[in-house]
Amino acid sequence: MQKKLIKIIKRAGKILKKGFYSNKSVSFKAKKDLVTKYDIAVENYLKKEFSKYFKEFNIIAEESDNSNIEFNNSIIIDPIDGTTNFVNGVPHTAISVGVYKDKKPYIGVVYNPILDELYFAKVGKGAFINGEKLKVSKEKILQKSLLATGFPYSSGTNNEDLKDVLIKIENILPHCQDLRRLGSASIDLCFVSKGVFEGYYEMNLKPWDVAAGIIILSEAGGKISNIEGNSFDMFKDKYIVATNGKIHDELLSKLDI
Protein backbone atom coordinates (compact mmCIF):
# COMPACT_ATOMS: atom_id res chain seq x y z
CA MET A 1 0.00 0.00 0.00
CA GLN A 2 2.73 2.42 0.97
CA LYS A 3 4.32 2.91 -2.47
CA LYS A 4 0.99 3.47 -4.21
CA LEU A 5 -0.19 5.78 -1.41
CA ILE A 6 2.88 8.00 -1.74
CA LYS A 7 2.63 8.04 -5.53
CA ILE A 8 -0.98 9.24 -5.36
CA ILE A 9 -0.21 11.88 -2.71
CA LYS A 10 2.74 13.20 -4.75
CA ARG A 11 0.48 13.56 -7.78
CA ALA A 12 -2.09 15.39 -5.67
CA GLY A 13 0.77 17.62 -4.52
CA LYS A 14 1.09 18.86 -8.10
CA ILE A 15 -2.50 20.15 -7.94
CA LEU A 16 -1.76 21.93 -4.64
CA LYS A 17 1.47 23.42 -5.99
CA LYS A 18 -0.19 24.69 -9.17
CA GLY A 19 -2.86 26.34 -7.00
CA PHE A 20 -0.26 27.88 -4.70
CA TYR A 21 1.24 29.82 -7.63
CA SER A 22 -2.14 30.79 -9.20
CA ASN A 23 -4.79 33.36 -8.44
CA LYS A 24 -7.38 31.73 -6.21
CA SER A 25 -10.92 32.68 -5.44
CA VAL A 26 -11.70 32.09 -1.82
CA SER A 27 -14.95 31.10 -0.12
CA PHE A 28 -15.66 31.20 3.59
CA LYS A 29 -16.94 28.17 5.54
CA ALA A 30 -17.03 30.39 8.64
CA LYS A 31 -15.76 33.85 9.62
CA LYS A 32 -12.10 32.72 9.63
CA ASP A 33 -12.35 29.34 7.90
CA LEU A 34 -11.39 29.48 4.20
CA VAL A 35 -11.80 27.04 1.35
CA THR A 36 -10.65 27.23 -2.28
CA LYS A 37 -11.34 25.22 -5.40
CA TYR A 38 -7.93 23.59 -4.85
CA ASP A 39 -8.98 22.11 -1.46
CA ILE A 40 -11.84 20.47 -3.34
CA ALA A 41 -9.71 19.42 -6.33
CA VAL A 42 -7.00 17.81 -4.17
CA GLU A 43 -9.61 16.04 -2.04
CA ASN A 44 -11.57 14.75 -5.06
CA TYR A 45 -8.40 13.43 -6.68
CA LEU A 46 -7.27 11.63 -3.52
CA LYS A 47 -10.72 10.14 -2.92
CA LYS A 48 -11.00 8.91 -6.51
CA GLU A 49 -7.58 7.23 -6.46
CA PHE A 50 -7.82 5.84 -2.91
CA SER A 51 -11.22 4.30 -3.55
CA LYS A 52 -9.87 2.70 -6.73
CA TYR A 53 -6.78 1.13 -5.13
CA PHE A 54 -7.63 0.73 -1.42
CA LYS A 55 -11.14 -0.70 -1.52
CA GLU A 56 -10.96 -2.11 2.02
CA PHE A 57 -10.84 1.43 3.48
CA ASN A 58 -13.54 4.04 3.78
CA ILE A 59 -12.59 7.72 3.51
CA ILE A 60 -13.09 10.54 5.98
CA ALA A 61 -12.19 13.86 4.37
CA GLU A 62 -12.45 17.47 5.48
CA GLU A 63 -14.47 18.89 2.60
CA SER A 64 -16.86 15.91 2.36
CA ASP A 65 -20.01 14.90 4.21
CA ASN A 66 -18.69 12.30 6.66
CA SER A 67 -21.91 11.83 8.61
CA ASN A 68 -22.53 8.27 7.39
CA ILE A 69 -18.95 7.09 7.53
CA GLU A 70 -17.89 5.01 10.48
CA PHE A 71 -14.29 5.25 11.66
CA ASN A 72 -12.77 1.78 11.40
CA ASN A 73 -10.62 0.87 8.39
CA SER A 74 -10.28 4.49 7.36
CA ILE A 75 -8.15 6.88 5.39
CA ILE A 76 -8.43 10.35 6.91
CA ILE A 77 -7.65 13.23 4.53
CA ASP A 78 -6.94 16.90 4.93
CA PRO A 79 -6.45 17.99 1.29
CA ILE A 80 -4.78 21.27 2.26
CA ASP A 81 -3.75 21.71 5.87
CA GLY A 82 -2.78 25.34 6.24
CA THR A 83 -5.31 26.82 3.81
CA THR A 84 -4.80 30.35 5.16
CA ASN A 85 -1.08 29.97 4.39
CA PHE A 86 -1.93 28.50 0.97
CA VAL A 87 -4.17 31.46 0.13
CA ASN A 88 -1.62 34.03 1.30
CA GLY A 89 1.47 32.45 -0.23
CA VAL A 90 3.09 31.18 2.97
CA PRO A 91 4.84 27.93 1.96
CA HIS A 92 3.81 26.09 5.13
CA THR A 93 0.97 24.02 3.75
CA ALA A 94 0.52 20.29 3.23
CA ILE A 95 -1.59 17.32 2.26
CA SER A 96 -2.23 15.15 5.31
CA VAL A 97 -3.26 11.48 5.02
CA GLY A 98 -3.64 9.16 8.00
CA VAL A 99 -4.42 5.48 7.45
CA TYR A 100 -6.10 3.52 10.26
CA LYS A 101 -6.79 -0.22 10.33
CA ASP A 102 -9.41 -1.36 12.79
CA LYS A 103 -9.24 2.16 14.34
CA LYS A 104 -5.54 1.68 15.00
CA PRO A 105 -2.78 3.84 13.52
CA TYR A 106 -1.14 2.29 10.47
CA ILE A 107 0.46 4.84 8.09
CA GLY A 108 0.86 8.63 8.23
CA VAL A 109 1.90 10.87 5.34
CA VAL A 110 2.26 14.66 5.40
CA TYR A 111 3.45 16.17 2.13
CA ASN A 112 4.43 19.79 1.59
CA PRO A 113 4.78 20.03 -2.20
CA ILE A 114 6.01 23.63 -2.10
CA LEU A 115 9.17 22.66 -0.20
CA ASP A 116 8.99 19.08 -1.55
CA GLU A 117 9.10 17.63 1.98
CA LEU A 118 7.41 14.28 2.45
CA TYR A 119 7.01 13.00 5.99
CA PHE A 120 6.17 9.31 6.26
CA ALA A 121 5.70 6.82 9.07
CA LYS A 122 4.44 3.27 9.32
CA VAL A 123 3.71 1.88 12.77
CA GLY A 124 6.70 -0.02 14.11
CA LYS A 125 8.98 1.08 11.24
CA GLY A 126 10.02 4.60 12.24
CA ALA A 127 9.38 8.04 10.79
CA PHE A 128 11.15 9.67 7.86
CA ILE A 129 11.45 12.92 5.91
CA ASN A 130 12.27 12.30 2.25
CA GLY A 131 13.65 8.93 3.35
CA GLU A 132 15.81 10.26 6.21
CA LYS A 133 15.06 9.11 9.73
CA LEU A 134 13.27 11.53 12.06
CA LYS A 135 13.98 11.82 15.76
CA VAL A 136 12.54 14.16 18.38
CA SER A 137 14.74 16.66 20.22
CA LYS A 138 16.57 15.60 23.39
CA GLU A 139 15.89 18.87 25.23
CA LYS A 140 14.59 18.28 28.74
CA ILE A 141 14.12 21.84 29.95
CA LEU A 142 10.95 23.73 29.11
CA GLN A 143 12.70 27.08 29.46
CA LYS A 144 15.03 26.09 26.59
CA SER A 145 12.22 24.67 24.45
CA LEU A 146 10.81 26.13 21.25
CA LEU A 147 7.07 25.48 21.27
CA ALA A 148 4.31 25.89 18.71
CA THR A 149 0.59 26.37 18.92
CA GLY A 150 -2.36 27.34 16.74
CA PHE A 151 -5.34 29.60 17.14
CA PRO A 152 -8.78 28.05 16.58
CA TYR A 153 -11.11 29.51 13.95
CA SER A 154 -13.61 29.80 16.82
CA SER A 155 -11.47 32.58 18.33
CA GLY A 156 -13.29 34.96 15.96
CA THR A 157 -16.70 34.17 17.44
CA ASN A 158 -16.29 32.35 20.75
CA ASN A 159 -15.00 34.53 23.55
CA GLU A 160 -14.34 31.58 25.88
CA ASP A 161 -11.98 30.01 23.32
CA LEU A 162 -10.25 33.32 22.70
CA LYS A 163 -9.72 33.83 26.44
CA ASP A 164 -8.39 30.30 26.81
CA VAL A 165 -5.85 30.88 24.01
CA LEU A 166 -4.64 34.06 25.71
CA ILE A 167 -4.43 32.60 29.21
CA LYS A 168 -2.38 29.70 27.96
CA ILE A 169 0.04 32.01 26.16
CA GLU A 170 0.38 34.08 29.32
CA ASN A 171 1.20 30.93 31.32
CA ILE A 172 3.62 29.47 28.83
CA LEU A 173 5.52 32.26 27.12
CA PRO A 174 7.65 33.28 30.13
CA HIS A 175 8.61 29.61 30.70
CA CYS A 176 9.78 28.55 27.24
CA GLN A 177 12.34 29.78 24.71
CA ASP A 178 9.62 31.08 22.38
CA LEU A 179 6.27 30.22 20.86
CA ARG A 180 5.47 29.86 17.13
CA ARG A 181 2.17 29.86 15.21
CA LEU A 182 3.00 28.53 11.76
CA GLY A 183 -0.53 27.67 10.59
CA SER A 184 -0.53 23.97 9.73
CA ALA A 185 -1.23 21.47 12.50
CA SER A 186 0.05 18.51 10.48
CA ILE A 187 3.39 20.21 9.80
CA ASP A 188 3.61 21.41 13.42
CA LEU A 189 3.45 17.75 14.49
CA CYS A 190 6.11 16.88 11.91
CA PHE A 191 8.31 19.69 13.22
CA VAL A 192 8.12 18.14 16.71
CA SER A 193 9.02 14.82 15.07
CA LYS A 194 12.04 16.49 13.46
CA GLY A 195 13.26 18.12 16.67
CA VAL A 196 12.58 21.64 15.35
CA PHE A 197 9.98 22.18 18.09
CA GLU A 198 10.13 20.50 21.50
CA GLY A 199 6.38 20.72 21.89
CA TYR A 200 3.07 21.79 20.39
CA TYR A 201 -0.46 22.22 21.67
CA GLU A 202 -3.73 23.38 20.15
CA MET A 203 -7.48 23.31 20.76
CA ASN A 204 -10.48 22.42 18.57
CA LEU A 205 -8.61 20.45 15.93
CA LYS A 206 -10.37 17.93 13.73
CA PRO A 207 -9.27 14.33 13.05
CA TRP A 208 -7.93 15.26 9.57
CA ASP A 209 -5.61 17.91 11.08
CA VAL A 210 -3.78 15.35 13.22
CA ALA A 211 -4.52 11.81 11.92
CA ALA A 212 -1.21 11.59 10.02
CA GLY A 213 0.96 13.77 12.25
CA ILE A 214 0.33 11.80 15.43
CA ILE A 215 1.49 8.59 13.72
CA ILE A 216 4.64 10.33 12.48
CA LEU A 217 5.39 11.83 15.89
CA SER A 218 4.83 8.56 17.78
CA GLU A 219 7.22 6.82 15.40
CA ALA A 220 9.82 9.58 15.87
CA GLY A 221 9.78 8.94 19.62
CA GLY A 222 7.41 11.71 20.71
CA LYS A 223 4.49 11.75 23.08
CA ILE A 224 0.88 12.77 22.45
CA SER A 225 -1.84 13.25 25.03
CA ASN A 226 -4.91 15.27 25.82
CA ILE A 227 -4.62 18.18 28.23
CA GLU A 228 -5.10 15.94 31.28
CA GLY A 229 -2.16 13.81 30.19
CA ASN A 230 -4.37 10.89 29.15
CA SER A 231 -4.32 9.11 25.82
CA PHE A 232 -5.45 11.44 23.01
CA ASP A 233 -8.71 10.77 21.16
CA MET A 234 -8.71 12.74 17.88
CA PHE A 235 -12.51 12.53 17.63
CA LYS A 236 -13.27 13.73 21.15
CA ASP A 237 -10.54 15.69 22.88
CA LYS A 238 -10.61 19.50 22.87
CA TYR A 239 -6.84 19.82 23.25
CA ILE A 240 -3.87 17.99 21.80
CA VAL A 241 -0.50 18.20 23.56
CA ALA A 242 2.41 16.77 21.59
CA THR A 243 6.06 16.84 22.62
CA ASN A 244 9.44 15.16 22.52
CA GLY A 245 8.29 13.30 25.67
CA LYS A 246 10.87 14.97 27.89
CA ILE A 247 9.09 18.26 28.48
CA HIS A 248 5.61 16.74 28.37
CA ASP A 249 4.73 16.84 32.08
CA GLU A 250 6.13 20.32 32.60
CA LEU A 251 4.21 21.64 29.59
CA LEU A 252 1.03 19.96 30.83
CA SER A 253 1.46 21.58 34.24
CA LYS A 254 1.41 25.03 32.58
CA LEU A 255 -1.53 24.21 30.27
CA ASP A 256 -3.90 22.29 32.49
CA ILE A 257 -4.82 25.01 34.94
Contact with ligand IPD (CB under 6 A) among 66, 137, 145, 184: 184
CB of 83 to ligand IPD, least distance (A): 4
209 is an interface residue for Ca ion by CB under 5 A = yes
Dist CA 135 CA 221 (whole Å): 6
Which is nearest to 146 in space by CA: 190, 195, 110? 195
Residue 209 or residue 250: which is nearer to Ca ion going by CB?
209
Contact with ligand IPD (CB under 6 A) among 139, 209, 219, 250: 209
188 is an interface residue for Ca ion by CB under 5 A = no
81 is an interface residue for Ca ion by CB under 5 A = yes
The full 3-state SS of the chain, as one line of letters, equals: CHHHHHHHHHHHHHHHHHHHCCCCCEEECCCCCEEEHHHHHHHHHHHHHHHHHCCCCEEEECCCCCCCCCCCCEEEEEEEECHHHHHHCCCCCEEEEEEEECCEEEEEEEEECCCCEEEEEECCCCEEECCEECCCCCCCCHHHCEEEECCCHHHHCCHHHHHHHHHHHHHHHHHCCEEECCCCHHHHHHHHHHCCCCEEEEECCCHHHHCCHHHHHHHCCCEEECCCCCCCCCCCCCEEEEECCCCHHHHHHHHCC
CB of 73 to Ca ion, least distance (A): 22
Residues 6+ apart with CB under 8 A from 159: none
150 is an interface residue for ligand IPD by CB under 6 A = yes
Residue 152 or residue 195: which is nearer to ligand IPD going by CB?
152
154 is an interface residue for ligand IPD by CB under 6 A = no
Stretch in the footprint of ligand IPD (CB under 6 A) among 4-12, 98-106, 109-117, 147-155: 147-155
Stretch in the footprint of ligand IPD (CB under 6 A) among 77-85, 117-125, 191-199, 244-252: 77-85
205's contact among Ca ion, ligand IPD, none, with CB below 5 to 8 A by partner kind, is ligand IPD
Stretch in the footprint of Ca ion (CB under 5 A) among 57-65, 111-119, 136-144, 240-248: 57-65
Site string for ligand IPD, 47-76 (x = CB under 6 A): ------------------------------
Stretch in the footprint of Ca ion (CB under 5 A) among 70-78, 135-143, 218-226, 247-255: 70-78
Residues within the interface to ligand IPD (CB under 6 A): 78, 81-83, 150-152, 183-185, 202, 205, 209
